[in-house]
Structures are given as C-alpha cells and as structure tokens.
Structure 1
C-alpha cells in the first residue's frame, strides 16, 4: 500500500466511531450501531435508468437494538431485508429505511444486514442543488457530497462513518464501469459485464462512487502506483494537453504532503460537460469541458488530486469543518501554480484576499452554516488561513506539519481542534491569536504578509 511502511497483506483501517448526528445534516446518519463493511452488488440498465441492488452491510451494535434505521432515497423500493439470516420487518418513508430484527441485537452484537432493492435512481435535492446518482447522455455518474449516497444504496450517511467497500457493477458490455478501489475481477457473460472493485481503505459514504460510460482506459503510469485515465476515445488527444502534467503534479504533492494514500489514482472524463469536477476516493471526475486542449482547468486538476490527501484519506468528522478539505485543496492549487512556473502562492493570496475584502461575510470559517459550507469564500479563506500559518511558522515547519497531518490521521476522521493541536508542535510561539483571527472571527483579518 503506498505510504505504508509495514510489510505483508494490506488490511483495512476503520475510522473512529462517533455515535452522533451532524447538526448540518440532522436528517442524515443513524444512531446505535456502526457499519464496518459494505458489499454492494449492483445491476444497472443504462437506457431505462434502472438499478437493482443487493446491499450486504456488516455492522456492530453500540446499544440494545430493537429497531434501527438506514438512509435510503424514496426512489428505491425495498423488497426484502434480513438481519443475521432471518427475515426482518421494515418500513421505508422520508428517506429512512426502518428495520426491526426478529430478535433484538445486544450491545456489541454483530449484524449482517442484507437489503434487496430496485428503482430508478435520481439525485437528491437540497440546499446545494442535486446530489447523488445522475444520468448522463449515455451513462451515469455519482456525485454524493454531502448527502447523495442514499440515492443509490442504503447507508449510514455520516462523514465520520468510514468503512471498506466491495462494489460489483453489472451493466451492458459496451460500457466501462468504474468504482472506488482496485479492480479485482471483470467477467463478461452474454451481453453483460460484471466489474468488481475492492476499496479496503475506509471510505465515507459521500465518496463512494460509480461511473459508467462509453470509455476507454489509458495508462499514465505504473510506478510508484498505477495512474490511469478513463475517457471517451474522442478526447484522447486533448487529454494529453489538459492533463499532461498530471504525473509531475503527483510528484510535487507527494513531496509536499507525504506519500499518496491509496493504491491507485484514476482521472475520469465524461462525454458530457460538468459544472464542476467531482472528487471520489481513489479517482476524480471531470467533464468534457475540462478537456478542451486549452489547459485552462489545470488548477482544478490540482484541486481534485489534493483531495486524495485532504478529504479522502484525512476526512472531517463534522461538516462544519469543511475548510479542512476545501481550504487545503485550494491552497494546493496555489502551491502547484508556483511550482509549475505560474503565479506564486503569495500572489494568489493577495488576489483572493482583495476579492474577499469586497464581500464581507458574517460567519466564521469553522462554522459557516450548512447553506454556506460550499461557498467560495470558505475555500479561499481556508487557503488564506493556511498561507497565514505558513508565514507565521516558516516553510520548513509548515510542510512538515502537512506531512505529519496526513500521516497521523491517514484514513481517519478529524476536527479543526485536531489541526490546531498538531500545529502547536511546529511553532515556537503561540498560534492562538492567528486562529482567533482566521478561524473564529467572522471579520477578515489584515492581509498575512507585506501589503
């Protein structure tokens, strides 16, 4: 496993349990148990947009459970549920699947939950638009952040609820199917092909993803880990321009952030245009408009790659701390720009500071509120916070801190307080005033550096 010093078989690492709901998404997540593995067997027919699934969830009860719930969109119809091989009663309304086992589950009791379901998956509407399973012109993609996973599989949809996955997708043979992790097997029977992927590093539900399209695979590198592209044949030439510095970018980020945390990395380019790229664990998805031969989307290429460290491996415990993902990925854009001969990080900091100064914000970076957690000011102020920290502690300490952050919390769940505590070890002075100004005060502090 890249980034792991231990020898021998690769083993899953489970995130720390947090039996609490997230106030930003209080209707998502479930109490009383923790899922330790998802096995999803999916069959998808592209033309009618029809999904049939069998979800096998391995879980452990925290308390005496007479009944428990899972998140699942109302567009999915559940035909059968078993718990520990015994038929269980269930009801399904308001995006909650309620399950009553034949016998209560004692505290610490193991559960194997099997759910058979079918439906025509649709994105889930929310304050952030539509998220989840989405039809393309000829295929489908999943963009779950923050609460779209339930549009296509039953789950405990909470960002700290990380688990390994096995995802098997059966679809018509002309289509290429991609999911998180390593392709374990591919089997064609008659006119259909089954693709089986194993994602053993724990993953939150919002990063689980399936991509289906008329794609071809292009190998970009085999060492130190496989890097591939999956895209329509018509975009192969422009891909070499727009993503031509992908491998150099990976080398730079490994130097700055530490070892790449997953066994593979794949770039998907859809045949459709997309408003924004989408991160998933072990791959990123771009639209055809990001692959037009102009290299104008290279900052987004850097942003999505950086999420493999900041967001996908090291994942927030609660949505209010989204700056730990987006601020870091945004600052990675600025770092790449400087390293690749573009504007320096300081120049980008000045540019976006001036923009933020013209639009005062009335909430803090560490609690922007659910409606504003994906606003651009969170991204840019988060990056400015890191720039201010870098100037305060110096480059050597700053990059040592980032590498320690990605190592200490690899595959884990974190909060802003975790980052503050770790950063204290890399500074000879108190960072309290810096955090007060940049994280906990709504007003924009003075520019960090020469005016």
Structure 2
C-alpha cells in the first residue's frame, strides 16, 4: 500500500495518523543500499545511502525521513540536486528537473553525525548505544535515526547493508552475510536482505559477541552472545527449535533464510523483533527459562509482523495478537497451560480493566497496550472455536502463504477467514464484537482441542 498525494510535490507524510511526522507520499522505495562506517568509542556514524525509488506522481520535490544526522551531499541519477534542506526530521529534496510519474530514480545521500534515539510517545526509538556497542530498535518510527528512508510500514524494500566498525566487535544486520573483510583494526560486514522489509524492521547490532551455531534444520539458527552466557542460554533457549518446528507446522514454512538471536550484555525492558533477528537483554537469560514465552513471542513475529507486515499501524493487532497467541500455543504444546486455560486467565484479567480499547483501531497511545496483545490473542481463539481446529490452522497457513513478504490489513484477514467459515453471519458477528467493539465480549462456551 502506498499513500498518494496530490500535486507535483511529494507529501511530507505518508498519511498514517499514528506516526504523522514519518513517512512520505509521492513515491515508493524499491531498495536501500547503505554503507555505514561506525566508530564505537566516539559514537560517530558516517553513511552513504543509495535509494532506488519509483515516482507515484510527477515530483518537483519530495522528502525522506532523517533525524539528528547532517547531510553533506545529495544526487539524483548521478546529478547534483537543485536544492536540499533539513528541518524537523525531514530531508527535503528538489531535483534539478521534475521526476515523471512512473519514473525510477536513484537518490544518493552522504551524511554523518552522532546518532541517538529519537524521542517519541513510546520512548526513545532507533540507534542507541550499549555499554559496549549498539542496539537499533526502531518500532514504530525510529529508522530515520540512522539512515534516510520512507519511514512507514507499508513501504517495504530490499536492503543491502554494509557496516565497517572496530575489529573487536561483531556487527550484525538483516539478511544473509555476503562477505566479511578485515583490514588493520577495522572489519567490514556486508549483509543482503532480499525479502522485502519495512523500515522499522531494519536493524544493526554491534557488540563483543561470540557467534554460536544452534541448528541447520528446519531453519539455520544462530546466536550472538556475550562471553560467559552460553550455558544459561542453552538452557533458556533449549526448546527454541521445538518452537520452530511447531510454528512451521501450524503457520507454514519459515519465511526467511535464517534466524539469529542476539543477547546484549545490557538489560532490556522487553525483547525486540527485527526481520530474521530477535534481540534479548541479559536479564532475559537466567538459566531458569523464566522468559520462554518471550522466546516464542519473538520467533512468531517472523511470520506475523515481519513477513506479513501491517500496511498501517492501526492494524498492529495482526502483529501482537498473533504473536501472543503463539505463546499460548507453545504453552499447550510444551505441557504448560492449554490455550483454553490461557484464554480464560487473560479474559478474566481483561474484564477488570477499562473497556476503552478498539482492537481494529486502538490509537497511537494504546497501540502497545498489553490489553491489545491479549484481546487480539483471545479474538483468534474465538475464531478457532468458530471454525474448528482444522479450518483455523489451514486459515493461518493460507494467510501466511498468500501474503508472504507483503503488507496486510485487518480487512484482508477478515476476507481470508470468510473463505473457511460455513456460517458467514456468525463470522461477521464475531469480528464485529471482537474487532469493532470496545466492550469485551463473553468467552465462547465450548472449546475445541487441537
């Protein structure tokens, strides 16, 4: 989905009301090639971005998102632009001649500075320093803290990310490691992410990590760990491959070429998902599996959120409700509480909380509210009861297959579910009360076992 604007000037917002200062209209991006040089001790980033885009209308000027970094040079198709300015987190570009509707163009941008998180209603987002290294956590609108981009979830693109940094540090980005070159005290890492990716899922992780190979089937899985954490990690993440097998069976084939778990040496309030990568804090590794539900949650995001990405943030329940339900499916599979029991427990808790959340459009202030996660998961369980297990899981597999590496909406999911229901009126009522109403509906009376 690409938002259009009118006139020859590309709009400086893509039209998502949840992040109105991010995203840009008038074009869509096909690929980002980022060449980054980062000095850990001084937190100095020097970058070159080559962005291939297609005009969605005639453009006499357009904008990209970039926050806190200074641009020194801009060219389009190899020619210097007539003018560029930076203000309020935007890079405004005036080409030397109007870009025609449908034209493909390449914008090359040189920039530098000391990257830092961007303040937002959800806390600091984007590029952030660790005690030793870097973490990048951009959801929903922090990507512009480290590269110029069209920062909204509906514009997915191919990425090639090159990172040069100090040799003691391991640098990770999304996709396949294409090459690693050591020159003196510096190492250059090149990653290629062929599957389309939203800006908020692009990441760089830098730290003094040991690389550990975990599995080759059904998915190549690795971990980057601080020294001394391997024993506890192997216990806490020891059932991750069983989760992978379960989710591949229930949700369909894993959507990417591999999966990497990073454990930072610092504590993190919550784990973070990126495409093909999940990031945990050292506090999530204690040798007691106390964070195992989060291991399942982040893995499930590879299907729900990373392969199937919401076109707009109002549909974030398609990320979080599905990942939360995956936690409950894993609990049931591994001998913990059944999905029915998890639903009953969560429903009882939600009944005692304010009834002011609309799942299909929660608003920016509630988009990460725990009630959205739980109500989204309960909605899926209600749908499971309506359809029966065979049809429900066939729906999930068809959902992930049809929209693999694409952008999705709640309306898309409702339409997909309708193909599996023998009672369309009951299905419409189910979605009306669970997605379109504030008041928490009663639980369905009868549960079906998977």
Q: TM-score, normalised to structure 1's length? A: 0.95
Q: Are 1:306 and 2:300 counterparts?
A: yes
1:9 corresponding residue in structure 2 = none
Larger mean Cα displacement after TM superposition, 120-129 or 328-337: 120-129
1:372-430 alpha-carbon deviations (Å, 9 max, x no partner): 10000000000000010001110000000000000000011111000000101111112
Maintained 8 Å contact 2:3/2:26: no
Q: Are 1:435 and 2:431 counterparts?
A: yes
SS of aligned partner of 1:426: coil
2:157 corresponding residue in structure 1 = 163
SS of aligned partner of 2:124: strand
Structure 1 residue 92, shift from structure 2 partner: 0.2
Maintained 8 Å contact 2:143/2:202: yes
Q: Are 1:449 and 2:422 counterparts?
A: no
1:10 corresponding residue in structure 2 = none
Q: Are 1:217 and 2:214 counterparts?
A: no
Maintained 8 Å contact 2:85/2:92: yes
1:47-99 alpha-carbon deviations (Å, 9 max, x no partner): 111111000000111111111000000x2010000111011121001000000
2:69 corresponding residue in structure 1 = 76
Segments of 5+ residues of structure 2 without an aligned counterpart are 5-13
Q: Indicate which of 404, 410, 418 corresponds to 1:416.
A: 410
Maintained 8 Å contact 2:218/2:245: no
Maintained 8 Å contact 1:261/1:309: yes
1:126-178 alpha-carbon deviations (Å, 9 max, x no partner): 11111111100000010000000001100000101000100000000000000
Aligned residues: 435
1:8 corresponding residue in structure 2 = none
Maintained 8 Å contact 2:357/2:372: no
Q: Indicate which of 131, 134, 137 corresponds to 1:140.
A: 134
- What is the alpha-carbon distance in structure 1 between the residues aligned to residue 3 and residue 243 of structure 2? 35
Maintained 8 Å contact 1:36/1:60: yes
SS of aligned partner of 2:328: helix
Maintained 8 Å contact 2:70/2:113: yes
Q: Are 1:66 and 2:60 counterparts?
A: yes
Structure 1 residue 361, shift from structure 2 partner: 2.2
2:106 corresponding residue in structure 1 = 112
1:382 corresponding residue in structure 2 = 376
1:5 corresponding residue in structure 2 = none
- What is the alpha-carbon distance in structure 2 between the residues aligned to residue 259 and residue 18 of structure 1? 31
Maintained 8 Å contact 2:3/2:25: no
Structure 1 residue 363, shift from structure 2 partner: 3.0
- What is the alpha-carbon distance in structure 1 between the residues aligned to residue 231 and residue 325 of structure 2? 29
1:7 corresponding residue in structure 2 = none
- What is the alpha-carbon distance in structure 2 between the residues aligned to residue 349 and residue 363 of structure 1? 18
- What is the alpha-carbon distance in structure 2 between the residues aligned to residue 364 and residue 128 of structure 1? 19
Structure 1 residue 355, shift from structure 2 partner: 0.7
Structure 1 residue 314, shift from structure 2 partner: 0.5
Maintained 8 Å contact 1:71/1:150: yes
- What is the alpha-carbon distance in structure 1 between the residues aligned to residue 3 and residue 59 of structure 2? 17
What aligned pairs does 1:318-397 form with structure 2 within 5 A after superposition? 318-397=312-391
Larger mean Cα displacement after TM superposition, 296-305 or 215-224: 215-224
Larger mean Cα displacement after TM superposition, 232-241 or 273-282: 232-241
- What is the alpha-carbon distance in structure 2 between the residues aligned to residue 383 and residue 153 of structure 1? 34
1:192 corresponding residue in structure 2 = 186
Maintained 8 Å contact 1:63/1:107: yes
Q: Are 1:87 and 2:80 counterparts?
A: yes
Structure 1 residue 224, shift from structure 2 partner: 3.3
Q: TM-score, normalised to structure 2's length? A: 0.95
Maintained 8 Å contact 1:231/1:270: yes
1:28 corresponding residue in structure 2 = 22
1:323-354 alpha-carbon deviations (Å, 9 max, x no partner): 00000000000000000110001111011101
Structure 1 residue 17, shift from structure 2 partner: 3.6
Q: Are 1:297 and 2:291 counterparts?
A: yes
Moved over 3 A (4+): 16-20
2:115 corresponding residue in structure 1 = 121
Over aligned residues, Cα RMSD in angstroms? Answer: 1.0
What aligned pairs does 1:140-289 form with structure 2 within 5 A after superposition? 140-289=134-283
- What is the alpha-carbon distance in structure 2 between the residues aligned to residue 189 and residue 222 of structure 1? 30
2:10 corresponding residue in structure 1 = none
SS of aligned partner of 1:400: helix
- What is the alpha-carbon distance in structure 1 between the residues aligned to residue 121 and residue 294 of structure 2? 23
Segments of 5+ residues of structure 1 without an aligned counterpart are 1-15
- What is the alpha-carbon distance in structure 1 between the residues aligned to residue 405 and residue 236 of structure 2? 30
